[in-house]
A and B are shown apart, each in its own frame.
Chain A
């Protein structure tokens, strides 16, 4: 039965149900069971924001509280995956990925290819991304484009509790390495989620809203920003079609192109910084494959090319908001050649 739960609860439920279903599923990460300075195992935090809470005692021996050494435990997770386990490693902030890049993009991402398709690496790396929690430049980046760039990785950016649960279960059952990017400002967002287990296939975009006038492709948390803009635009007679790719790799190019062929206008909303991000990637795709359909230049709404500011006022300006999306839509709908 579908009931309303939070993004955090949706991910937690997915982990619970998959650990219940499949003994090879493990969880590992920092602060699963308290971490430094806490009373330890009896005070199982479930990670820094409590996403894995309840798993430690429910599945004894299958939730590993790791030292603060990302290169060690991510490497361990990848190694375990090559031997048939299905580890879900929590790498607290996506900003910390730098210390274990070799394990992720030069090892896990390459095994299937380099061993002639015979090797499988069913590892999931859960990680938090995104600005908005006053966590400053080293804990607020939207780095999913980095992983999207690497062949051999699958990259998931869920935009709601429903997507989060179905995509997490699919990530665990998938036989390739998956980078699962959770927006840290969305954990308390709520939505309808079925109690039963279900999967959402990778590479299938969700058309969040139908519209004839403009296509807005939005990634992760930006989907709700685009929806807010679409409501405002609708009251002034502009109907936006919103597409949530759900996974940036693989990317459902067909749904995006079909929509732009219908609307003739594209706005891409991406919280990542503007060079080589999803906005540029999707803009290039549409410019090449649907150029003849475009009735106005493509607009990109992204963060500026700077680190995420610590100042509250500047951070608020940094994150793309509904007003900027509305302005971008007006630019493309009112454009005259």
Chain B
């Protein structure tokens, strides 16, 4: 195959994804594509999202049809410079089509999951990529490592990217101890220690943003950069009603209305999202963990964390990303944070709604990793 032809493949969003279905081609054959441009909407049995291009050139050929089940790793389109001869494209498309029809698509290695022990607490993580530089993704309150699914894959092209489950979350231990910021920061630093990672770029969302800031303040030598996505601990506004509602909801019916506060586009609140969260909330110990952490996040109806003094001691590059439609931690909280990338069409879950904005923010402070 002509080396100038780049394959666009079905991405692997999350550990359990085996196939995906294109619901709409956003780009058309002949379109000029820049890196980060949205190519297609893809639906999996878990989640729907938009695939962003990792390459640039002309979208020369669409291989997979709308509605077709395509295995992860299967070629769905071809991108190449305009001067690649049509006959080469025909040949590459024919091979890609044959591969899809035969079902003999090479399995794509998904994230590798594992656990580490930090001060007697088991922490779970998922690692993707094998680049020299390490990135650690730290989710927010009630989230887990899978919330980074749209971000982890593009970041891992040139880096080793770990998505961590904080104590009380995902598959990590449900004991959060005192639930303090310091305890959670200790878990992140303990993870680095346990994995033998001397220095990492830390990315934190919401509560995770405050956690990575505290980690950087505590052990500056271990942190190469910070990317804060709608971080907690800055400004004076917080949606206490959302946090309490999330913590106390005991059924999908109770939970679902609260979840709409997370997204700019409320259609992101799918039954699957609510189901997965209820599966998490039903685990023994989660109720206690969420309530303990609620005490960290809230002081009455006001924010319970002040991370600004911690950030002022941090000397590494810092990027801040905030959704303009954030209804949990409003973007007004960002005043005083210097340069902030405000993102349109994104609520609190910027990394799910506009993952490209988070990927490029990490790129700005962490370099291209290559």
Residues of A within 8 A of B (CB): 1-2, 162, 166, 192, 194, 196-201, 204, 206-207, 210, 254-255
* Pairwise interchain contact B113-A1, C-beta atoms closer than 8 A: yes
The A-contacting residues of B in range 270-302, CB under 8 angstroms, are 271, 275, 279, 282-285
* Pairwise interchain contact B113-A197, C-beta atoms closer than 8 A: no
B124 CB-CB contact with A under 8 Å = yes
Distance between Cα atoms of A255 and B256 in the complex (Å) = 14
- Name A162's closest neighbour in chain B (CB-CB): B279
Q: Which residues of B contact A2 (CB under 8 A)?
A: 171
CB distance from B293 to the nearest CB of A (A): 18
B250 CB-CB contact with A under 8 Å = yes
A1-B124, A207-B271 as given contacts; A196 in contact with B251, CB under 8 Å: no
Distance between Cα atoms of A120 and B278 in the complex (Å) = 29
| 6 more A-B residue pairs beyond the given contacts A200-B282, A201-B251, A210-B271, with a C-beta to C-beta distance below 8 A | A1-B113, A194-B279, A201-B250, A204-B252, A206-B275, A255-B253
* Pairwise interchain contact A204-B283, C-beta atoms closer than 8 A: no
Name the contact of A204 in the complex, choosing from B113, B124, B251 (C-beta under 8 A). B251
* Pairwise interchain contact B271-A196, C-beta atoms closer than 8 A: no
Number of interface residues of B (CB under 8 A): 16
Distance between Cα atoms of A199 and B283 in the complex (Å) = 7
Distance between Cα atoms of A88 and B291 in the complex (Å) = 32
Name the contact of B279 in the complex, choosing from A1, A197, A198, A204 (C-beta under 8 A). A198
Distance between Cα atoms of A199 and B279 in the complex (Å) = 9
Q: Which residues of B contact A192 (CB under 8 A)?
A: 16
* Pairwise interchain contact A198-B113, C-beta atoms closer than 8 A: no
Of residues A166, A196, A254, which shows the largest number of chain B Cβ atoms within 10 Å of its Cβ? A196
Q: Which residues of A contact B174 (CB under 8 A)?
A: 196
A1-B113, A207-B271, A210-B271 as given contacts; A199 in contact with B171, CB under 8 Å: no
* Pairwise interchain contact A194-B271, C-beta atoms closer than 8 A: no
A201-B250, A207-B271 as given contacts; A196 in contact with B113, CB under 8 Å: no
A-B contact pairs, 9 of them (CB 8 A): A1-B124, A1-B171, A2-B171, A162-B279, A192-B16, A196-B174, A196-B284, A197-B284, A254-B253
A1-B113, A204-B251 as given contacts; A197 in contact with B283, CB under 8 Å: yes
Q: Which residues of A contact B124 (CB under 8 A)?
A: 1
CB distance from B43 to the nearest CB of A (A): 13
- Name A207's closest neighbour in chain B (CB-CB): B271
Distance between Cα atoms of A184 and B279 in the complex (Å) = 25
- Name B174's closest neighbour in chain A (CB-CB): A196
Q: Which residues of B contact A196 (CB under 8 A)?
A: 174, 283-285
* Pairwise interchain contact B282-A198, C-beta atoms closer than 8 A: yes
Q: Which residues of A contact B271 (CB under 8 A)?
A: 207, 210
Distance between Cα atoms of A194 and B174 in the complex (Å) = 13
* Pairwise interchain contact A198-B171, C-beta atoms closer than 8 A: no
Q: Which residues of B contact A198 (CB under 8 A)?
A: 279, 282-284
The A-contacting residues of B in range 235-287, CB under 8 angstroms, are 250-253, 271, 275, 279, 282-285
Distance between Cα atoms of A194 and B275 in the complex (Å) = 14
Q: Which residues of A contact B113 (CB under 8 A)?
A: 1
The A-contacting residues of B in range 1-38, CB under 8 angstroms, are 16
- Name B281's closest neighbour in chain A (CB-CB): A198
Distance between Cα atoms of A196 and B283 in the complex (Å) = 7
Q: Mark B91-118, 1 if CB is under 8 A from A, else 0.
A: 0000000000000000000000100000
A207-B271, A210-B271 as given contacts; A199 in contact with B251, CB under 8 Å: no
Which 9 pairs between the two chains have the least Cβ-Cβ distance? A198-B282, A197-B284, A198-B283, A1-B171, A196-B283, A204-B251, A210-B271, A199-B282, A207-B271
Q: Which residues of B contact A255 (CB under 8 A)?
A: 253
Q: Which residues of B contact A200 (CB under 8 A)?
A: 282
A1-B124, A1-B171, A207-B271 as given contacts; A166 in contact with B251, CB under 8 Å: no
CB distance from A1 to the nearest CB of B (A): 5
Distance between Cα atoms of A254 and B253 in the complex (Å) = 10
CB distance from B149 to the nearest CB of A (A): 16
CB distance from B256 to the nearest CB of A (A): 11
- Name A166's closest neighbour in chain B (CB-CB): B282
- Name A1's closest neighbour in chain B (CB-CB): B171
* Pairwise interchain contact A194-B283, C-beta atoms closer than 8 A: yes
Q: Which residues of A contact B16 (CB under 8 A)?
A: 192
Q: Which residues of A contact B275 (CB under 8 A)?
A: 206
- Name B113's closest neighbour in chain A (CB-CB): A1
Q: Which residues of A contact B279 (CB under 8 A)?
A: 162, 194, 198
Distance between Cα atoms of A255 and B271 in the complex (Å) = 13
CB distance from A247 to the nearest CB of B (A): 13
Distance between Cα atoms of A2 and B171 in the complex (Å) = 8
Q: Which residues of A contact B283 (CB under 8 A)?
A: 194, 196-198
Distance between Cα atoms of A207 and B253 in the complex (Å) = 11
CB distance from A164 to the nearest CB of B (A): 14
CB distance from A160 to the nearest CB of B (A): 12
Distance between Cα atoms of A255 and B283 in the complex (Å) = 23
CB distance from B123 to the nearest CB of A (A): 12
Q: Which residues of B contact A207 (CB under 8 A)?
A: 252, 271
Of residues B171, B174, B251, B282, which shows the largest number of chain A Cβ atoms within 10 Å of its Cβ? B282
CB distance from B172 to the nearest CB of A (A): 10
Q: Which residues of A contact B251 (CB under 8 A)?
A: 201, 204
Distance between Cα atoms of A248 and B252 in the complex (Å) = 19
Q: Which residues of B contact A254 (CB under 8 A)?
A: 253
Q: Which residues of B contact A162 (CB under 8 A)?
A: 279
Distance between Cα atoms of A255 and B282 in the complex (Å) = 19
Q: Which residues of B contact A166 (CB under 8 A)?
A: 282
- Name B282's closest neighbour in chain A (CB-CB): A198
CB distance from A56 to the nearest CB of B (A): 25
Distance between Cα atoms of A194 and B172 in the complex (Å) = 12
Distance between Cα atoms of A194 and B279 in the complex (Å) = 9
